[in-house]
Amino acid sequence: MEPRNEFEELRRDSESWWYVTRRKLLRKAALQAVHGKREARLLDLGCTAQFEFGQASTYRVCNLQSSLKVLAFRQIEGDTNLVCSRIEELSLASNSFDAIVAGDVLQSVADDVVALREMRRVLKDGGLLCLTVPAYSFLWGEDDEVRGHQRRYTISELRRKLNNSGFHIQRASYFVASSFVPLVVGRAAKDLFHKSVTQHRHYPRPSRLANTGMSAVLDAERHLMHYVNLPFGTRVVCWALKPAMATEAVTDPAWERQWARHPLAQGSS
């Protein structure tokens, strides 16, 4: 595919209802995590939140992607502080970010536990990780294969992997419940008739009216999640914290304290 066509495809994706809603979700989570902090640093894995701060802002954002094509597109769109790196081997200093957002990137890495441990390494103590991932293996489709996905998740599976990586789960919920039933019906129809529902490389671009309508529905879901966790959906959203390290109560070894209390007499044999 020609670069111009690839960039047009990325631009269509960035304007679709899911990408717009995901940006709102990730931005709000990150800004709440660093509220009141000066010189806070944010890491946008996948360049999905697309933070927009003025020159007077004290926040610093690092936009990281493993795809040179996506980085080139984001540079054309005006993003700065772009870094090319694999998520499993982040070329970033440890304990350097106050918050990390990762919109639909974890499902594309070969080893998601290694990637989560790398996120924990570069996150400061008490820092927040907010991520979204596709839900349910039975919803696997052609779009997952085209986008290079390795897996889909349930909440329990994502919780377990985050806990094993050293995170404390603050909250987890399903999301995009409004499109869950249509997607399940579409997958069942494909299995029944042995015919692909999706004939294009990606799902066709919805009309402007449909895009606006779905964005409004998902905004309502976002507000509903302030009060309850949604029981099902096509995405999983999780907020996790890197626990602050407990300070050691004893700073000096026991033998050193013992000799300090009873020094040897000068000139003793």
Q: Which position has the higher pLDDT, 259 or 57? A: 57
Task: Work out the percent of the chain whose per-residue pLDDT is above 70.
Answer: 83
**Buried-exposed string 255-267: b where 16+ CB fall within 10 A, e elsewhere:** eeeeeeeeeeeee
DSSP H helical segments within the chain, as ranges? Answer: 3-14, 17-33, 68-76, 112-122, 142-146, 155-164, 180-193, 208-224, 254-261
Q: Could you give the count of Cα atoms lying within 13 Å of 114 in the half-sphere of its Cβ? A: 9
Structural domain total, the chain: 1
Is residue 153 within 8 A of residue 198, CB to CB? The reply is: no
Beta-carbon contacts of 136 under 8 Å, excluding residues fewer than 6 positions away, are 152, 153, 154, 234
pLDDT at 2: 61
Assess if residue 146 is contained within a domain.
yes
Residue 119's nearest CA partner among 104, 142, 97, 143 is 97
Domain membership of residue 34 (yes or no) is: yes
CATH number for 157: 3.40.50.150
Within a domain: 28: yes
253 located within any domain: no
Which residues have C-beta within 8 Å of that of residue 190, sequence separation ≥ 6?
141, 196, 197
Least confident range from 40-49, 231-240, 243-252: namely 243-252
Report the amino acid identity of residue 65.
Q
263: pLDDT strictly greater than 70: no
Question: DSSP 3-state assignment of 162?
Answer: helix
Residue 262: φ, ψ to 5°: -130, 75
- What's the average model confidence in pLDDT over 153-161? 97
Residue at 15 is within a domain? yes
Crossing angle, helix 3-14 and helix 68-76, to 10 degrees? 70
268 in a structural domain: no
pLDDT at 198 (0 to 100): 45
Per-residue pLDDT band for 1 (boundaries 50, 70, 90) equals low
172-226 per-position pLDDT tens digit: 999 999 999 888 887 777 766 655 444 444 445 667 888 999 999 999 999 999 9
Specify if 254 maps to a domain. no
Backbone angle region of 139, left / alpha / beta, with phi > 0 → left and psi within -120 to 50 → alpha: alpha
H/E segment holding residue 172: strand 168-175
What range defines the domain where residue 70 resides? 3-243
Helices (H) and strands (E) in the chain, counts: 9, 7
| 5-47 residue pLDDT tens | 888 888 998 999 999 999 999 999 999 999 888 889 999 999 9
pLDDT at 165: 96
Is 60 buried (19+), middle (13-18) or exposed (0-12) by CB count in 10 A? Answer: middle
> Rounded mean pLDDT of 98-116?
97
Tell me which of 1-10, 15-24, 117-126, 161-170 is least confident. Answer: 1-10
Strands 123-134 and 235-241: antiparallel
